[in-house]
Amino acid sequence: MRGRPCCTEPSNGRATYAGVMFLLFGFGSKRKHVGSGATRNCPRCHNTTQWVRMKQYQQFTLFFLPVARWKRVEFEECGICGAATEV
Ligand SMILES: [Zn+2]
């Protein structure tokens, strides 16, 4: 008896290469540590410490590359309670 489908022959099992395109994009606000800020008296926790200077911006990334950035703000943040003031 012959005619048994051999396993080496290409079966009609469909290899579905779905045309999936990975469009990796991101959107959101980013915070960047810029350096140390001024020594301030915090209005919230009333501690006098050196604040941290931060930069924040909204950004849109495509394939991990930033395409657009807007709404940049620079501010200083209290290292103890996290209160922030724009500078
Ligand atoms: Zn504080």
Ligand 1 geometric centre to CA of 82 (Å): 6
Whole-number Å distance between alpha carbons of 82 and 75? 11
* In the chain, where the domains are located: 34-86
Residues 68-78 have pLDDT tens digits of 999 999 999 99
Ligand 1 geometric centre to CA of 41 (Å): 8
Among 31, 27, 26, residue whose Cα is nearest residue 72: 31
Residues 20-61 have pLDDT tens digits of 556 788 889 999 999 999 999 999 999 999 999 999 999 999
Number of neighbouring beta carbons within 10 Å of residue 75: 17
Ligand 1 geometric centre to CA of 37 (Å): 13
Whole-number Å distance between alpha carbons of 9 and 52? 67
Give Cβ neighbours of residue 83 (< 8 Å, ≥ 6 apart).
42, 43, 44, 45, 77
- What integer is the mean pLDDT of 13-25? 60
